Amino acid sequence: MFTGLSAFPLTPFRGEKIDEKAFGGIIRRLAQAQVDSIGVLGSTGSYMYLDREERRRAVELASAHAGSTPVIAGIGALRTRDVLALAEDAQAAGASGVLLAPVSYQPLTEDETFSLYEQVSRELSVPLCVYDNPRTTKFTFTDELHGRIAALPNVGSIKIPGVPDDPAKARQRIQRLRSQIPGHVTIGVSGDRFAAAGINAGCDGWYSVLGGLFPRTCREIVQAASSGRYPEAAALSDRLEPLWSLFDRFGSLRPAAAIAIQLGLMEGPGLPLPLAPLPPSELKEIADLLDSLE
Amino acid sequence: MFTGLSAFPLTPFRGEKIDEKAFGGIIRRLAQAQVDSIGVLGSTGSYMYLDREERRRAVELASAHAGSTPVIAGIGALRTRDVLALAEDAQAAGASGVLLAPVSYQPLTEDETFSLYEQVSRELSVPLCVYDNPRTTKFTFTDELHGRIAALPNVGSIKIPGVPDDPAKARQRIQRLRSQIPGHVTIGVSGDRFAAAGINAGCDGWYSVLGGLFPRTCREIVQAASSGRYPEAAALSDRLEPLWSLFDRFGSLRPAAAIAIQLGLMEGPGLPLPLAPLPPSELKEIADLLDSLE
């Protein structure tokens, strides 16, 4: 479940409610494309904007539409109490794994983060992926802390933000982290721009926003990079440069929403207020590229 | 309500519940010290960690114990839908004003922030204070945006983070902001270290964490600075340097919790998990100072 391509779809909204029909369609499309897992309620799935019942329902829907593809569900919340409740809900609703970031309003200390993972991991009956996302959590993991958390029961993977541009440095970065964690814990790269380079540097998979929109395109990259055909993977990734550049400028959520609307995967605006998708005019420059994918 | 000393108390927890007895005691102590307003459910009041019913109850308790002192209630939430519901609850529970930050998981764009304030301000029947706190919201206001928001109906104040150290620059900063906003909108400084300097630079008041713990000490600073006795205000503030230094190193919430426990205002740990107060050992160096206050 925690290797290969994990696609992180949007949770489409219609007004203030989840658009269940559109969500089901998005999930089925990913399962048909044979992604290795589906990561619902990640940052791209707007997990922090959904209430408990919405989150339970999203996992239930995803599990129903994913067929045999494993569903990983985001369970992050500001309060440990709520994370525990969300973990129970996600497991009961059919999640095969859970994803947990040290989300914060008050950025957490290292001790607080460790104790959060300690309390949550021991209550789980499915494996957990540690979600390292300093941009949204305002928390920076050290490799040493990753090692302590990865040694906790039920921890199965770490979702890291990108890797250094330089291939030697990227490889060193993954080797250093790998040296701190048990052998069964996988490392997946996120920051879509870094996918090919990350797998080339030794990551076991890609936790992918773009995979939620263009799963076949992203599978090609993962397959090339995982089979040691790095120049091919890099070329496939480089072709998407206009997309990476859009994600650099606007983050990935708002462009992903605009693309999903353009692809007809959901209706606009599609995000819970106050969030808004990127205006369609911003996609004009990449229209040809989008048309050429899948 | 939006001038002078606004004291921002902690919301004390006992296990996973608000410690209502301790909270009532904290509110009464502030009212007795004749602070100008009480800001419940600010960052120090852990607002983002409380669910809707806990927040409603906290405002109800504060209003009941504050006597004639106006209560300002934090209504920030990630979703516009929830902010609107919290605004209704706070007003119904007795708040005289509300405080709203552009809180985020995905940092908001300028347009999203403006539309949030636009939607919320027009539904209010009490005045709103714009809460500018880039550390926790990951959003930086421009003065121009402050001006557009301050011109919306029901906006009464802006709570800014500190001011530049240099008095001339601090005065310029306040004058520049003041030139963008209507005359009836006040400017209050936060970042306790900057209180005396901020009022000296032209701020109308102090939105104060320390005021929630040592209201009389903080009133002295406000009174001196507001009466043009700046050297006296600065000397009173400088005396608290060991506290400011603690806040610089650890943020203000965790030290404030440790001090409240030491003062007997609440029982430890007092904060909702995963948050933890500063260990008492960290207060040893400032024990004499704490003993000497109030």
Q: What are the pLDDT tens digits along chain A (294 aa)?
A: 999 999 999 999 999 999 999 999 999 999 999 999 999 999 999 999 999 999 999 999 999 999 999 999 999 999 999 999 999 999 999 999 999 999 999 999 999 999 999 999 999 999 999 999 999 999 999 999 999 999 999 999 999 999 999 999 999 999 999 999 999 999 999 999 999 999 999 999 999 999 999 999 999 999 999 999 999 999 999 999 999 999 999 999 999 999 999 999 999 999 999 999 999 999 999 999 999 998
What letters, b where the CB count within 10 A reaches 16 and e where it falls short, cover B115-154?
A: bbbebbbeebebbbbbbbbeebbbbebeeebbbbbbebeb
- Chain A residues with CB under 8 Å of B49 CB are 78-79, 105
Give the mean pLDDT of chain B: 97
Q: Is the pLDDT of residue B294 over 90?
A: no
How much is the pLDDT for A294?
86
What's the rounded Cα separation, in Å, for the pair B120 and B122? 6
- Please tell me whether the interface predicted TM-score (ipTM) of this complex is above 0.85: yes
pLDDT at B111 over 90: yes
CB contact, 8 Å: B44 with chain A?
A: no
Residue-range domains of chain B with CATH: 4-239 (3.20.20.70)
State the pLDDT at residue A190: 96
Residues of chain B numbered 270-289 and touching chain A (CB < 8 Å): 272-276
List, for residues B130-161, the tens digit of each pLDDT value.
999 999 999 999 999 999 999 999 999 999 99
Looking at CA atoms only, how far is residue B20 from chain A in angstroms? 19
Q: How far A274 CA sits from the closest chain B CA (Å)?
A: 6
Residue A116 to residue B80, Cβ atoms within 8 A: no
Chain A nearest-CA distance from B105, in A, is 6
Chain B residues closer than 8 Å to A78 by CB: 48-49
Please name the member of A79, A103, A111 whose beta carbon is closest to the beta carbon of B105.
A103
Q: What are phi and psi of A13, to 5 degrees?
A: -110, 145
Asked if the Cβ–Cβ distance from A112 to B253 is below 8 Å, we say no
